[in-house]
Amino acid sequence: MNTIERKLQAFKLERQISRPRAGGIAQPQKPRARVIIGCITRSGLSANGKGSKVFVAPFCQELRRQGVASHICTSLPQIERLVDTSGDTILINVFGEDHYAITSQRMADAESIATVVFNRSDIGSVIADKQASLDHFTKFGVPMPPVPNSAGPTFSNARIGTGRSVEVIENAAHADPGRYNRAMINTVHEFEGRSYYTSVRLMCIADQIVHAMVRARPRDQEDPSVHSKDTPLDGPLLRYLQEELVRNRMDAYRHIARQMCEATGPCFIAHDILVESESKTASLCEAGFKFFDSTFQKHILPLRSELPFHAPLFDNTAYAQRAAKIFLNWLKLRRIGEREAI
């Protein structure tokens, strides 16, 4: 989108947020804090599949109900005008880190003025590069896949980009050093006579898990890279995997979420976790900015009645409202938004 298209998109969304007939809420007259949604790339609020387009309106409406103002900015000058020190200001950057870098001295200066920043510009370039992510997250104790060795296969992926083709290499010495190479983690689970590669996605706000889901891929497809679209539409399978890999392991996932927040600062983010089938050890596969997982929601929609634990995913508005309350509670625990009204 060009600049005019981005501004028009933001204008329409602002009207939706405020329009009473659409459940809209006007800006609070004396806000206790100000949230700035910064979407300054060519993708605007669409943000390359980050789920922000369906998330932002109900999220901002809930913020306003709770006395927090919200503003959508499509340019850095707009952000600079709104970020100030007269009250608590929270900047939320919305951008596809695999497609754009928004780092600059002006952005760094604006971020330094904000009370707190979610999805910091410099962290985008870290999580966009799998090797840089590994190096950075390891410093904070985040469990990552181990180095390749001759005892087992190597999982090889492109360092940058999402949805790229992967390779499983039997001899680690043959792996391309320019790619992201780690020891292959066995995530296979058996169910009713079939085998499935698995991964767990944690949808997080800062160090808080909003929702967790299991994705799976039949092993006979001979591709261990698991995405939402690969997940079989099999209710009994997904109920079994949710019990095995989510419900029974939430304490471990909460610990990883806290470690990741220390590593990245507060973010709206998805963490993809690999659980080794025998040891049950959890490792972070990768992370990416994410507000709502529309792809997974649409994929499993036919199983809505069979998956009650995914109820939050089937209502965009309810999910965003819940996310807003988690977000505001995170701020409250840090006494952000408790100054005199702006």
- Render pLDDT for 56-77 as a digit per residue (tens, 0 to 9): 999 999 999 999 999 999 999 9
For residue 317, pLDDT over 70 is answered with yes
Q: Say what the pLDDT of residue 85 is.
A: 67
Phi, psi (deg, nearest 5) at residue 214: -100, 135
DSSP codes, 30-70: S-SEEEEEE--STTGGGTTTSSHHHHHHHHHHHHHHTTEEE
Yes or no: domain 185-306 corresponds to CATH 1.10.287: no
Q: How far is Cα 54 from Cα 236, in angstroms, rounded to an integer?
A: 29
CB 207 within 8 A of CB 170: no
Where are the domains positioned within the chain? 3-127+327-333, 146-184, 185-306
* pLDDT class of 342 with cuts at 50, 70, 90: very low
* Alpha helix ranges (H) inside the chain: 3-18, 52-65, 76-82, 105-113, 121-127, 130-139, 235-245, 250-264, 294-300, 316-333
CB 284 within 8 A of CB 137: yes
* pLDDT class of 261 with cuts at 50, 70, 90: very high
Q: Show the tokens assigned to 303.
A: 């199983």
Q: Show the tokens assigned to 75.
A: 């340019």
pTM of the entire predicted model: 0.95
User: pLDDT tens digits, residue range 81-128?
Assistant: 999 767 899 999 999 999 999 999 999 999 999 999 999 999 999 999
User: pLDDT tens digits, residue range 2-12?
Assistant: 888 989 999 99
For residue 14, pLDDT over 50 is answered with yes
Q: Show the tokens assigned to 171.
A: 């001899």
Strand order in the sheet with 89-93: 68-73, 33-38, 89-93, 116-118
